[in-house]
Amino acid sequence: MKEQKCSQCGHWNKNAILCEVCENPLTADGLNIAYQKKIIKEDKEKKESKFFIFLEKMKSSNNILVKGTYYVLFSIWSVYMFFVSIIVFIAAATPG
Ligand SMILES: [Zn+2]
């Protein structure tokens, strides 16, 4: 049995990677897990950013003008990405 005292809350943990009370990492593995959790959390927050909420609102709007604006912007973006991919393809295909 290996007991470790948490540096944050002072709780004694038995064979734990993370503190049972405050989830403070106690070992190197614990640090990795805590880091992964942080990345997953940040990723979730990114997906639910204000910009995407705004886009979803536009998409599901009852106002035909707002909905139209969304589709116009979306098609402009699609055409833009189409040309960008062609330019990248040409740049990659031609030597030099
Ligand atoms: Zn703790």
- pTM for this model (two decimals): 0.39
Task: Calculate how far, in angstroms, residue 10's C-alpha sits from the geometric centre of ligand 1.
Answer: 6
Helix (H, G, I), strand (E, B) or coil at 4: strand
Residues near ion ligand 1 (Cβ under 5 Å):
6, 8-9, 11, 19, 21-22, 24
Task: Calculate how far, in angstroms, residue 58's C-alpha sits from the geometric centre of ligand 1.
Answer: 45
Q: How far is CA 45 from the centre of its chain?
A: 6
Query: What tens digit of pLDDT does each residue of 58-83 get?
Result: 888 888 888 888 899 999 999 999 99
Residue 76: per-residue pLDDT: 95
Helix (H, G, I), strand (E, B) or coil at 20: coil
Task: Calculate how far, in angstroms, residue 22's C-alpha sits from the geometric centre of ligand 1.
Answer: 4
> Across the chain, what does the average pLDDT equal?
87
Query: What tens digit of pLDDT does each residue of 1-11 get?
Result: 578 899 899 99
Q: Which residue has the tokens 């003008």?
A: 65
Q: Give the integer Cα–Cα distance in Å for 28 and 40.
A: 19
